[in-house]
């Protein structure tokens, strides 16, 4: 995969990222008290910031890859470092609230996923910095753009109060459905 071959992907992903960021701002503005109000949970604020960070990473990587003569590796490296700094700053910022018992560490477990994305992005970007023709590095960056979309969509879903889906929830739901059928 060459940068020229990835051009259409980056055009499409930049468009998608722009639309998702716009929808995120609409979602927050419809119910700002849930995320930004005085009674808002600190976790919701962190989720909103994490969502914006995921979408912004995808948008910026995509847009900068479209600039003629611009090296994807350099911009992806810088953005990965910014993402890692965001996570470090977030964890430092919420430590007092965590110690006070306002939320549990598992409430921030989604940051682990973003941390992994930014570390892998940093490794792939450094590989691209050393060799702009690295097909593996570019392909990894493309996949991480998609992963950022998925992370951002999941965080946005939580922000608007959508139900949490997990394997455990699915199994519980199926068991309850089965029990209800037996009661009939």
CA 69 to chain centre: 27
Q: Where are the alpha helices (DSSP H) in 66-166?
A: 72-99, 110-130, 135-159
pLDDT in tens, 121-178: 999 999 988 777 677 889 999 999 999 999 888 888 877 777 766 555 556 666 677 6
Distance in angstroms (rounded) separating the CA atoms of residues 160 and 25: 11
Count Cβ atoms below 10 Å from residue 84 Cβ, excluding itself. 17
Distance in angstroms (rounded) separating the CA atoms of residues 24 and 116: 23
> Quick one: average pLDDT of 26-49?
78
Domain ranges of the chain: 7-183
């Amino acid at each position: 995969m060459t940068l020229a071959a990835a051009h259409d992907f980056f055009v499409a992903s930049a468009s998608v990222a722009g639309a998702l960021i716009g929808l995120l701002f609409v979602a927050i503005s419809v119910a700002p008290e849930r995320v930004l109000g005085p009674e808002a949970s600190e976790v919701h604020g962190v989720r909103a910031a994490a969502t914006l960070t995921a979408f912004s990473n995808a948008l910026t990587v995509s847009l900068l890859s479209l600039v003629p003569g611009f090296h994807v590796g350099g911009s992806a490296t810088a953005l990965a470092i910014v993402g890692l700094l965001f996570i470090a700053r977030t964890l430092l910022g919420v430590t007092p609230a965590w110690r006070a018992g306002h939320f549990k560490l598992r409430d921030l477990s989604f940051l682990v996923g973003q941390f992994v994305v930014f570390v892998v992005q940093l490794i792939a970007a450094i590989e691209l910095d050393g060799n702009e023709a690295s097909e593996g590095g570019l392909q990894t960056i493309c996949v991480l753009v998609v992963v950022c979309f998925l992370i951002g969509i999941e965080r946005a879903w939580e922000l608007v109060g959508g139900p949490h889906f997990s394997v455990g929830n699915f199994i519980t739901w199926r068991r309850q459905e089965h029990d209800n059928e037996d009661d009939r």
